[in-house]
Amino acid sequence: MHKKVTRPTRSKRKLQSLHYTAHYGTHSPVVVHLSNGVRLQGLVLRMDDYVLLLGKHVQDQQPQVVYKHAISWVMPAAAANSPFDAHRDEAINSPEFVDLFIPRGRRRG
């Protein structure tokens, strides 16, 4: 006899959706940091369960498609110019900075 495993609901997706909806509704500029280190800036024009459309302005005819699984984090563009960001760049460029490598584990299906 096997015990039935129940998993909690995934509230992470709901929270993520609320976060992107807030940026979409206000049309405020955001900075999107991707997992490969690329930084994108723009407005969230549209979104669904898998992708975001980032544009330079509301009527942008050629927005960028960004897969959500490639996004590390999103922040308002006004916060990107904070003094903490400047200190971070100084630390990364210093000779004492060692980039930390964390390997990904295998997925279990």
Structural domains of the chain sorted by starting position, each given as residue range(s) with its CATH number in brackets: 14-93 (2.30.30.100)
Q: What was the pLDDT predicted at 20? A: 85
Q: What was the pLDDT predicted at 98? A: 59
Q: Which is nearest to 71 in space by CA: 31, 105, 102, 99?
A: 31
**CB within 8 A of 27, min separation 6: which ones?**
43, 44, 58
State the Cα–Cα distance between residues 29 and 63, nearest whole angstrom: 14
pLDDT single digits (tens) 3-31: 777 766 656 667 888 888 888 888 889 99
